[in-house]
Amino acid sequence: MKDSVLILSGGMDSVTLLYDEHERIALAISFDYGSNHNGKEIPFAQLHCKRLGIPHVIIPLDFMGKYFKSSLLEGADAIPEGHYDDDNMKSTVVPFRNGIMLSIAVGVAESHSLAYVMMANHGGDHTIYPDCRPEFVEAFDAAAKAGTFVGVRLRSPYTNMTKADIARRGKELGIDYSETWSCYKGTEHHCGKCGTCVERREALAEAGIEDTTVYDD
Binding positions for ATP: 8-18
Instruction: Report H helices in the chain.
Output: 12-20, 38-52, 62-67, 97-111, 134-146, 163-173, 195-206
Dihedral-angle region of residue 36 (phi above 0 means left; psi in -120 to 50 means alpha; beta otherwise) = alpha
**Edge-to-edge strand ranges of the sheet holding 56-60:** 56-60, 25-32, 4-7, 116-118, 153-155
Strand partners, 128: none
Q: Residue ranges for the binding site for Zn(2+)?
A: 183, 191, 194, 197
Contact 46, 14 (CB under 8 A): no
The H-or-E segment that residue 7 falls in is strand 4-7
Q: Which residues contact 138 (CB under 8 A, 6 or more apart)?
A: none
Dihedral-angle region of residue 53 (phi above 0 means left; psi in -120 to 50 means alpha; beta otherwise) = left
DSSP line for 100-148: HHHHHHHHHHHHTT--EEE----GGGTTT-GGGSHHHHHHHHHHHHHTS
Q: Residue ranges for the binding site?
A: 8-18, 183, 191, 194, 197
